[in-house]
């Protein structure tokens, strides 16, 4: 489905990003794994991706940093020759009620998710535009659609990603590049694994499908949006949330 294409995934060493990288590799894409934290985790993903017979390399980068992002993107283009697909998945949470949220925590969350997405789109745009079917996929959140108490920073960043998605979709359409967003709900990751049992039970009550989603359920939608099957879809926000936000 993605054979011969090169995909860049930020925040790809764990959780949703890891699942996206492995699903794309399984479908034939060469993978650039961008991460910031654990070297061990990133190289494990790289080894697993390589096991599908594709080229995979790791790049440590703070996506919020303009110069660091630029240098990383240039290295990726040098190593792979070109980029066809960009998945902006990197993100952090620093949850708190607004009156307790520090400027540092607000900036950190917005800088990673929103500015980091802008940085990578900006630095990879020309390469993606040269692709016969360029794809940009931004991982937003249902928090960016409906808001969430205690997440003023996260909700603002993820809402901003939706606005960025729609603008890029309009600007890049002339080059046959599509740009879409995915808005996951409660997904089984390291973040949700640490939730108290009472919270997990509450999630089961408020989600119409009565369960937390799996990372592969997000990743498979990303693969679809990256493939030729989605060639006439752009500027959309696809919710993967079990019906939570409807």
Does 232 qualify as catalytic in the annotation? no
Q: Which member of 35, 43, 59, 154 is catalytic?
A: 154
Cα 86-133-169 angle, rounded to 5 deg: 65
| C-alpha of 20 from chain center | 8
SS (H, E, C) the chain: CCCCCEEEEECCCCHHHHHHHHHHHHCCCEEEEEECCCHHHHHHHHHHHHCCCCCEEEEECCCCCHHHHHHHHHHHHHHHCCCCEEEECCCCCCCECHHHCCHHHHHHHHHHHHHHHHHHHHHHHHHHHHCCCCEEEEECCCHHHHCCCCEHHHHHHHHHHHHHHHHHHHHHHHHCCEEEEEEECCECCHHHHCCCHHHHHHHHHHCCCCCCECHHHHHHHHHHHHCHHHCCCCCCEEEECCCCCC
Q: How many residues belong to the chain? A: 246
Active site residues: 154
């Amino acid at each position: 489905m993605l054979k011969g294409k090169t995909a860049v995934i930020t925040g790809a060493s764990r959780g949703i990003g890891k699942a996206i990288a492995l699903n794309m590799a399984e479908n034939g894409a060469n993978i650039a794994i961008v991460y910031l934290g654990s070297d061990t985790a990133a190289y494990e993903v790289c080894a697993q991706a390589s096991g599908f017979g594709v080229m995979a390399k790791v790049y440590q980068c703070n996506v919020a940093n303009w110069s660091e992002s630029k240098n990383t993107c240039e290295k990726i283009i040098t190593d792979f020759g070109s980029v066809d697909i960009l998945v902006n998945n990197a993100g952090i949470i620093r949850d708190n009620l607004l009156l307790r949220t520090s400027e540092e925590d607000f900036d950190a969350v917005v800088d990673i998710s929103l500015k980091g997405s802008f940085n990578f789109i900006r630095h990879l745009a020309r390469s993606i535009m040269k692709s016969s079917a360029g794809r940009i996929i931004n991982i937003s959140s249902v928090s960016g659609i409906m808001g969430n108490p205690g997440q003023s920073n996260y909700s603002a960043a993820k809402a901003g990603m939706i606005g960025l998605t729609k603008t890029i979709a309009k600007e890049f359409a002339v080059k046959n590049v599509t740009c879409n967003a995915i808005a996951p709900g409660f997904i089984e990751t390291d973040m949700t694994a640490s939730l108290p049992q009472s919270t997990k039970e509450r999630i089961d009550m408020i989600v119409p499908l009565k369960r937390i989603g799996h990372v592969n359920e997000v990743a498979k939608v990303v693969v679809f949006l990256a493939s030729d099957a989605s060639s006439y879809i752009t500027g959309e926000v696809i919710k993967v949330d079990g019906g939570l936000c409807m």
